[in-house]
Structure 1
């Protein structure tokens, strides 16, 4: 994954008031930390940073005080209503360094007819070089039979990428599609557990149903 260049400015004002002023200027307060150094407070451009972070685990590159920095966004705080970025914690990285990140998992292909795929995990934790992180992992279920359980260890990984967690963890299950009767039974059970009671049909409704059945038979 190529680094995305972002302009950065050192930040000398702190506190809620200063943060609000920064956001009013369409900028984002951030902190860069890692490798045992002191935290570095900085300001990032709002729009450019928002676009960059649309890429999962985007590798950011910026220059500050004449020094080049590479970083990953480890914590992004957003406004709960308007979803704009309020603050970012950045982790500094260097080429060749191994980091643990969560990578989105995308399922492709179709299993055998009459079966469905249940995705158990939407992200997978992996270890990879900080400057060569995959943007996503793909899992093909093309032709997979019903009853198959796909684990993290079954995933095809790019070179240099390994699973960080349990290889036996299930990421997807292929199962037979439920029949209409099974769907109706599950719906009835869910309604019963929720205390939903349907009113019995009135005599008029019963008569209408019977008339409709008779007309169908005559036709």
Structure 2
């Protein structure tokens, strides 16, 4: 089972930002800040800026809940969405959702697969189809990660969503029979990849028919060119 544990709660210092827009956001980033918005409950939407290094530390730690301090007033928020630049390196914007400790929230939690599948001894490999799952859970019970033991998975066996261990108060927002991972042989894996690659190739409709039609047409044209012209009538 995945039990709730006491986690480090990061405190992010925030400043109200009056000016908005792409130019202002670029200026903030150049100055070591990250644009963000705080919304939810009855507090309205507030545009703020966060210290970039501190925000990155909190986000990259896997934390979901943080405290944001604005002019000495602390708000408890959930890191709802993080936008990165096109290289997926620098944080461009952060959405922060105010939380009520007694109100469930929806969050995406990464899966951490532990152990070597039993089927690996028979040449099998673990094929992961879903690397994170969505939960509905109370804010203070949000796990940073869900650890899943795959040691007992034999060759051709499947790990379904219903097999993921959860704390008592968490609800998995996936179909119970959804495939999370399975143990395949290397040959099966290669066959699947080949099939997927073939399926992505565009099909040229009517190409063969056009080629077949062009062949006699070309022959007819050649025959017409070789035939002597009828003498002109005088």
Q: TM-score, normalised by structure 2?
A: 0.72
Matched with 1:50 is: 56
2:35 alignment partner in structure 1: 29
Q: Which runs of 5+ in 2 are unaligned?
A: 1-6, 202-234
Of 163, 176, 197 in structure 1, the residue corresponding to residue 172 of structure 2 is 163
The answer for unaligned runs of 5 or more in structure 1 is 195-219
Alignment partners' CA distance in 1, 2:135 and 2:11: 24
Q: What corresponds to 2:23 in structure 1?
A: 17
| Rg larger in structure | 2
Q: Distance in 1 between matches of 2:104 and 2:61?
A: 19
* The one of 104, 113, 134 aligned to 2:110: 104
From 81, 94, 101, the counterpart of 1:88: 94
Q: Deviations over 1:104-152 (max 9, x none)?
A: 0111111221122111100011111112211111111113211211111
> RMSD value over aligned CA atoms?
2.8
Q: Structure 2 CA distance, aligned partners of 1:162 and 1:134?
A: 12
Q: Report if aligned partners of 1:3, 1:131 keep a CA contact under 8 Å in 2.
A: no
Rounded Cα–Cα distance in structure 2 between residues aligned with 1:67 and 1:49: 18
Aligned residue for 1:215? none
Q: Residue by residue, what CA displacement relative to the aligned partner does 1:5-35 show, whole Å, maximum 9, x if unpaired?
A: 1111111122222222211210111110011
SS in 1 for 2:155: coil
Per the alignment, in what secondary structure is the counterpart of residue 159 of structure 2? strand
The structure with the greater share of residues assigned to helix is 2
Structure 1 length-normalised TM? 0.77
Instruction: Kindly provide the CA deviation profile for residues 65-92 of structure 1, in whole angstroms up to 9, marking residues without a partner as x.
Output: 4422111222222221372112111111
Alignment CA distance shift 1:183-1:30 (3 Å): closer
1:38 partner SS: coil
Quickly say closer, same or farther: Cα 1:17–1:176, change in 2 above 3 A. closer
In the other structure, the counterpart of 2:221 is none
Q: Is the 1:56–1:104 Cα contact (8 Å) retained in structure 2?
A: no
Please show how residues 184-195 of structure 1 align to structure 2 within 5 Å: none
**Structure richer in strand, relative to its length:** 1
- Conserved 8 A contact 1:110-1:141: yes
Aligned length: 192
Moved more, 147-156 or 8-17: 8-17
